[in-house]
Structure 1
Amino acid sequence: MPSEPVESGASQDLELGTTEALQQHATRSVIAHKPVSQRKLNFERRRPRWLRECLAEATGVFLYVFPGVAATASFLTNAANPIGVGCAYAVGIAFAIITCAPTSGGHFHPAITLCFAFWQGFPWKKVPYYILSQVLGAFVAGLVMMGMYWPQIQAINAAFIAQGKPLVGNGTPASILCSFPNPDQTNLGFLFMTEFFVDFFIGLIIWACIDPANPFVSPSTVPFMIGLSYAAMIWGFADITIAANMARDLGTRMVAAIFFGREAFTFMNYSPIAILVNIPATFCATALYELLMRDSLSSIGQGHAVHEDGEEGLLRNLSKSGLIDDEEMRRPQAARRQELGKMG
């Protein structure tokens, strides 16, 4: 039977558009979609999953790096409010998660990808593809920003050269793209510890936010909480040099090397700290959460995870823990399942 044409409904109906977000909340009806064609379904079925995931990771990184470096460029070229840099990264991260996480899982950070593989069973074979995609997203974001701000950046370059100032360093044109230490920050150990604790803070907040058993974070607030964790660190420590994400720093640092030379990687021997320290720091943060704060039994009880040996394995664990007795173990399976549901 052919589908009926899609037409606007009564005057109280909401027209199709961003109103789709209200489908589960609005008391007024929203005009229906046109029927989905078989051609569209065939196209979507044939899309390689790996390509969709990689493009989603690259796009997600682009969505938060682009407003972040643009806000930094505005701060340097127009003396804008520095608070805006943290806000731009925070909102960009929220937008990235909202837009791309349904496709790829929303890592957008090589250290987070590695931690998912180590702690949560994310396939190791996907790790290189995800990391390369994340770096690519930051690289493209840096290139696009440089193109859009090129006249202003050229003017700043000319002013710096006329005054005999270097183009690479903190507060220079190159710092729009990636971080550099202040001239007096010659102690690499100090820079290491600053970066480590900033990344540890962000990693711990991310891991707490994505824990399905955490009662204080709802799914709709996760993107903004993670974004705020980045913003808080930018507001607190950007003046003394932080990077916070390997993909963001490496991708945009390569753009800086294109426009400002290889000193973008060699300046004060800082780039290895900016690129690599976030990985061990995030591992330490997630290890703290996994070893001391994770409540896997609560996750199982709420239906977010399963015991590796199924229901029988869960019951054995509950019996050993004293949460159920031997008589409970002998009850019919249906009754036990109902009781487990009540515990969750």
Structure 2
Amino acid sequence: MSSAHIEESEYSPNHDVRRLRTHDMEMGVTDAVQRHVKRHVITPRPVSQRRLDFEHARWRWLREMAAEAMGVFFYVYPGIASQASFFLNGTEPAFSSIFQIGWAYAIGIAFAIIVCGSTSGGHFNPAITICFAIWQGFPWSKVPRYIFAQIFGSFLAGLFLVGQYHPQLTALAAEFRSKGMSPNSLGGPGSVLCAFPAATQTNYGYIFFIEFFVDSFIGLLIWAVLDPANPFISPQTAPFVIGIAYAIMVWGFADVTISTNLARDLGTRIVAAIFYGGDAFTHYAPIAILVNVPATIFATVVYEIILRDSFAIIAKGHNVHEDGEEGLVRHLTKVGTLEEGGIEK
């Protein structure tokens, strides 16, 4: 195997054959990761016509949905598996810890982007999908099926984990019931799958505030990573930076109870309801499921209004003025100065 090397080519939308001049290319984390990079790890064998015919015949919408579902699976499964080890072994540090759980989610997200992002854009979060539709022209017709696929991927991750840990989780559920406690409570088998507040956490306004802050923080960082004008993000680091954003919030607020992702919570919460009772959908459930969307929209509004520098994006060749060179000249004539990154030249 030869050593990997990266050769970046100048951005040119007219030479991106994947768009096929339809302007319907999947957008998402992939935009930050790919940046029109050519990558050679090993010398590939020639692509056969049979292979091209097969790939052309595949349903694009099904591939996108499958990629989103698989990506959420890659993201959710390591996290809940680490949580299973944590709770089933009495929170003994030798088996797991909050620190390990944070890293499990972080690396899972990075793996999800690396494995599936190039096919669907790497959203893996309904709130991110909605924000791409609002700000980046992602087709609204794709939004419902992306969200369904994301929830389904989380549901599958929960099912797999329950199947693999079924004896231990069943025993833990019986132990909780013998104490008069619901399995869907903190420390029970339900909390392996999704978030449940402690019995003392009854201030739902406070929990709402924490969830809104956490989701806004993550959303703002994701939007910064995806900004083509951001000089601090490389294609290689983008998946891990996004993953670490989630990990930091786990480390900071796990004891308060957070969800961070509609699909991640709802999919596994359905599994918890199936196996451990309908009280999985408690008074806390709407916060865990729904707050992620308005919080992420709020974060992207803040970024778009305060931090976005569209001229810098155009100047660096990552985009063009909607009216082409004529529009750019008109803008420069109107403002009378060149501004890039807040510095006049």
Same fold by TM-score greater than 0.5: yes
Structure 1 residue 24, shift from structure 2 partner: 4.5
- In the alignment, structure 2 segments of 5+ residues that lack a partner are 8-39, 339-343
In structure 1, give the amino acid aligned to 2:133: A
Does the residue aligned with 1:239 lie in a helix, a strand or coil? coil
Cα shift readout 1:57-105 (whole Å, capped 9, x = no counterpart): 1110000101011111010012322211110000000011111111111
In structure 1, give the amino acid aligned to 2:291: V
Structure 1 residue 161, shift from structure 2 partner: 2.7
* Matched residue, 1:103: 119
1:255 equivalenced with 2:266 (yes/no): no
Structure 1 residue 322, shift from structure 2 partner: 0.8
Does the residue aligned with 1:220 lie in a helix, a strand or coil? coil
Q: Aligned-residue CA RMSD in angstroms?
A: 1.7
* Matched residue, 2:4: 22
Q: For residues 267 and 254 of structure 2, what CA distance do their matches in structure 1 show?
A: 18
Q: For residues 204 and 51 of structure 1, what CA distance do their matches in structure 2 show?
A: 30
* Matched residue, 2:57: 46
Cα shift readout 1:95-150 (whole Å, capped 9, x = no counterpart): 11111111111110000000010011111111001100100100001100111111
1:71-220 alignment to 2 at 5 Å? 71-78=82-89, 79=91, 80-220=96-236
Does the residue aligned with 2:187 lie in a helix, a strand or coil? coil
1:238 equivalenced with 2:249 (yes/no): no
Instruction: Determine what percentage of the aligned residue pairs are the same residue.
Output: 59
* Matched residue, 1:322: 336
Structure number with the bigger relative contact order (C-alpha 8 A, sep ≥ 6) is 2
In structure 2, give the amino acid aligned to 1:59: M
**Range 183-192 or range 276-285, more displaced:** 183-192
The alpha-carbon distance between structure 1 residues 210 and 270, as it changes in their structure 2 partners (threshold 3 A), is same
1:280 equivalenced with 2:294 (yes/no): yes
Count of residue pairs the alignment pairs up: 302
Q: Is contact 2:173–2:276 with CA below 8 Å preserved after alignment? A: no
Q: For residues 76 and 53 of structure 1, what CA distance do their matches in structure 2 show?
A: 34
The alpha-carbon distance between structure 1 residues 314 and 273, as it changes in their structure 2 partners (threshold 3 A), is same
Q: For residues 24 and 113 of structure 1, what CA distance do their matches in structure 2 show?
A: 29
Per residue, is there more helix in 1 or in 2? 1
In structure 2, give the amino acid aligned to 1:22: A
Q: For residues 121 and 68 of structure 1, what CA distance do their matches in structure 2 show?
A: 32
Q: For residues 24 and 210 of structure 1, what CA distance do their matches in structure 2 show?
A: 20
Structure 1 residue 182, shift from structure 2 partner: 1.2
Runs of 4+ aligned structure 1 residues displaced above 4 Å come to none
* Matched residue, 1:302: 316
**Range 302-311 or range 113-122, more displaced:** 302-311
Q: For residues 204 and 317 of structure 2, what CA distance do their matches in structure 1 show?
A: 46
Cα shift readout 1:296-336 (whole Å, capped 9, x = no counterpart): 01111112111111110011011111137xxxxxxxxxxxx
Q: For residues 274 and 157 of structure 1, what CA distance do their matches in structure 2 show?
A: 22
Q: For residues 333 and 135 of structure 2, what CA distance do their matches in structure 1 show?
A: 26
Q: Is contact 2:212–2:292 with CA below 8 Å preserved after alignment? A: yes
> 74, 78, 85: which is aligned to 1:67?
78
Structure 1 residue 165, shift from structure 2 partner: 2.9
Q: For residues 42 and 190 of structure 2, what CA distance do their matches in structure 1 show?
A: 50
Q: For residues 5 and 224 of structure 2, what CA distance do their matches in structure 1 show?
A: 30
Cα shift readout 1:155-202 (whole Å, capped 9, x = no counterpart): 212222333332111222110111111111112111110110010110
The alpha-carbon distance between structure 1 residues 272 and 77, as it changes in their structure 2 partners (threshold 3 A), is same
In structure 2, give the amino acid aligned to 1:84: Q
Structure 1 residue 30, shift from structure 2 partner: 7.2
The alpha-carbon distance between structure 1 residues 125 and 152, as it changes in their structure 2 partners (threshold 3 A), is same
* Matched residue, 1:225: 241
If you compute each CA radius of gyration, which structure gives the higher value, 1 or 2? 1
- In the alignment, structure 1 segments of 5+ residues that lack a partner are 1-13, 325-342
* Matched residue, 2:47: 36
Cα shift readout 1:22-64 (whole Å, capped 9, x = no counterpart): 2549xxx976433322111100111121111111111100001
**Range 168-177 or range 220-229, more displaced:** 168-177
Q: For residues 100 and 319 of structure 1, what CA distance do their matches in structure 2 show?
A: 44
TM-score, normalisation: structure 1:
0.84
* Matched residue, 1:340: none
Q: For residues 32 and 286 of structure 1, what CA distance do their matches in structure 2 show?
A: 41
